Structure 1
Amino acid sequence: MLETTFHDYTFQSPLMNASGVHCMSAEQLDELANSKAGTFVTKSVTKKKRQGNPEPRYYETNLGSINSMGLPNLGFDYYLDYLDKRQKMTSTPVFFSVASMSMQDNIETLKKLEDSNFRGFTELNLSCPNVLGKPQVAYDFDMTEKILTEVFSFFTKPLGVKLPPYFDIAHFDQMATILNKFPLTFVNSINSVGNGLIINPEKEQVVIKPKEGFGGIGGQYIKPTALANVRAFYVRLNPSIQIIGTGGITSGLDAFEHILCGASMLQIGTQLYKEGPKVFARISDELTTIMKTKGYTDIQQFQGKLKTLEDH
């Protein structure tokens, strides 16, 4: 019932983790693989191992979270070795996330991935808001086009980009025009809303250490922004470019709304952090119940079919 076709593969569920949550170590990735998630994505990897930003760098609230992780990961070779072994045991493709510290590092990492035996999907993260001193690449439209031109001059495996949230209709139009020039497999929208601030009023201080308390906002706070971005790109991108919806998914109803906006796959971040991998079974059950109540037998029957008030 929850099967979803993505590129040329049918996953048993559209649910997966968001890169950065429960995917640092082989043990965590194994737990995702053994959960009710349809697949998983690795940490956004850099060429070499990174410690990331100083702690505390993650903080939960009732409505979500703030983080400024700074791309902590165990390095490219660690994740490639893990996935090489995994590919020998299962045919289910996974996602390899790449987010290096410079354009040149990105290119070098992707060239290694192109030359490797990796057979899954590659996510190029153009939207990390929490690396000290580094702006989000995807807010620079010229740089985004330059990077994608370089990448697609040599990269032939299925590749998508992870985008930050956009807040202006003109920016949806501009970015979609750029993305439609390239043979992208998918767009993942959205990363956390960058540079929010959460305060502990009792202590009268910020709650995370990096960047004087500024960090990426996730969870229920960002669902309306995530839905808007999913919908905006679904109606603007070439039909061959599928959408991964990320942001504010805490329930089956949230998942249903993302799919209604046009998402083919769904990534869960903050709620996975709060509940652990059992979150996938709960949200799967809730989504299945909603579909049965509405008389849907598969996701394709309502995917992208969001109505406007003019439809009535």
Structure 2
Amino acid sequence: MSSSLQTAFLGSYYQNPFMNASGVHCLTVKELNELSASRAGAFITKSCTTKEREGNPKPRYYSVPLGSINSMGLPNKGFDYYLNYVLDFQSKSSDSLPFLSVAGMSIDENLHMLRIVQDSAFNGVVELNLSCPNVPGKPQVAYDFEVTEEILTKVFDFYKKPLGVKLPPFFDFAHFDAMAQILNKFPLAYINCINSVGNGLYIDIESEGVVIKPKNGFGGIGGEYVKPTALANVRAFYLRLKPEIKIIGTGGICTGRDAFEHLLCGASMLQVGTQLYEEGVSVFDRLQQELREIMNKKGYKSIDEFRGKLKSL
């Protein structure tokens, strides 16, 4: 009997744990519909702001040998565009609703959007992106622990629907401990780790220059480069968070082996970014086949048989 990839997540069942990472193949209704029609188990909208944003000047994404570098600047069609999409989807089907991602440029903007979602008919999952700038000159929200606790306190004063948060990578045990202590105070549905590794630099030796225009070439690193960091964050938070807070693993998922490693570290769902950008929605077929082959070889009939069971020496 072939292994099953069926995944239970927040009270819903998905045929497999794979999703797009917000920001990739999810800007327009056309792209979202392609995800819906693909073999992805679930999908998520582009992280949105209240008003439409053009984003940073191009070139702002560049493929590099082991992944990608980007400084997109949150291009999106605006909050109403994506809320209307998920509401329309919900009116036609109650199965596998899209996740809605919000990423306001301020605390007040995030609260404004979440209040509208709370008052709307949408009963799916929302992801609050805390891995975005707060104000100029300040670190992204999740690197400011006091601001993170402040925003989550204000959110859960009124928000009662399933909510997850997207986190940047952390690199120190003290930071894992401190962030987990904050997250455990709230009724979060899940965390998503990681966003890209911030402010990398890639150089074209032929031109002796950078490869993206914004920020003098500095950008977020994704793809194979970041998998060890992503796995470390998934594992660190899996060991520190209360069991009811699930984890979506994101970062460096290019093969079925990468997916297996994320699940072994404790992830419940998996998001694919750089590889989806490079390969298109057919990537989900390949990843499922490769993950199932690994599970069959190891004799696992379901993901739950090995999820989170990473062995230490």
The interval holding the TM-score normalised by the smaller chain is over 0.9
Matched, 1:53 2:56: yes
Q: Please, which of 223, 245, 255 is the counterpart of residue 251 of structure 1?
A: 255
- Equivalence for 2:146: 142
Question: Alpha-carbon deviation of 1:263?
Answer: 0.2
Instruction: Show CA shifts across 1:133-185 (max 9, x none).
Output: 56310000000000000000000000010000000000000000000000000
In structure 1, how many angstroms separate the alpha carbons of the residues matched to 2:36 and 2:18? 12
Instruction: Show CA shifts across 1:211-251 (max 9, x none).
Output: 01000000000000000000000010000000000000000
In structure 2, how many angstroms separate the alpha carbons of the residues matched to 1:165 and 1:276? 25
Runs of 4+ that moved beyond 6 A: 129-132
- Equivalence for 2:97: 93
- Equivalence for 1:4: 7
Kindly tell me: are residues 141 and 95 of structure 1, through their superposed partners in 2, closer, same or farther at Cα, counting changes over 3 Å? Answer: same
Classify the secondary structure of the residue corresponding to 1:222. helix
Is the 1:52–1:69 contact (alpha carbons within 8 Å) kept by the matching residues of 2?
yes
Question: Alpha-carbon deviation of 1:82?
Answer: 1.1
Question: Alpha-carbon deviation of 1:61?
Answer: 1.1
- Equivalence for 1:184: 188
In structure 2, how many angstroms separate the alpha carbons of the residues matched to 1:226 and 1:133? 26
Is the 1:130–1:216 contact (alpha carbons within 8 Å) kept by the matching residues of 2?
no
Where structure 2 has 5 or more consecutive residues not aligned to the other structure, the ranges are none
Q: Please, which of 202, 206, 209 is the counterpart of residue 205 of structure 1?
A: 209
Q: Please, which of 186, 207, 220 is the counterpart of residue 216 of structure 1?
A: 220
Where structure 1 has 5 or more consecutive residues not aligned to the other structure, the ranges are none
- Equivalence for 2:39: 36
- Equivalence for 2:275: 271
Aligned residues: 309
- Equivalence for 2:233: 229
Q: Please, which of 151, 164, 176 is the counterpart of residue 155 of structure 2?
A: 151
Kindly tell me: are residues 11 and 188 of structure 1, through their superposed partners in 2, closer, same or farther at Cα, counting changes over 3 Å? Answer: same
Is the 1:71–1:131 contact (alpha carbons within 8 Å) kept by the matching residues of 2?
no
Matched, 1:19 2:22: yes
TM-score by length of 2: 0.97
TM-score by length of 1: 0.97
Is the 2:54–2:75 contact (alpha carbons within 8 Å) kept by the matching residues of 1?
yes
- Equivalence for 2:72: 69
In structure 1, how many angstroms separate the alpha carbons of the residues matched to 2:41 and 2:19? 6
Is the 2:134–2:141 contact (alpha carbons within 8 Å) kept by the matching residues of 1?
no
Which aligned pairs between 1:104-143 and structure 2 lie closer than 5 A?
104-128=108-132, 135-143=139-147
Instruction: Show CA shifts across 1:251-299 (max 9, x none).
Output: 0000000000000000000000000000000000000000000000100
> Over aligned residues, Cα RMSD in angstroms?
1.2
In structure 1, how many angstroms separate the alpha carbons of the residues matched to 2:256 and 2:26? 22
Q: Taking every aligned residue pair, what percent have the same amino acid on both sides?
A: 65
Classify the secondary structure of the residue corresponding to 2:92. coil
Classify the secondary structure of the residue corresponding to 2:242. coil
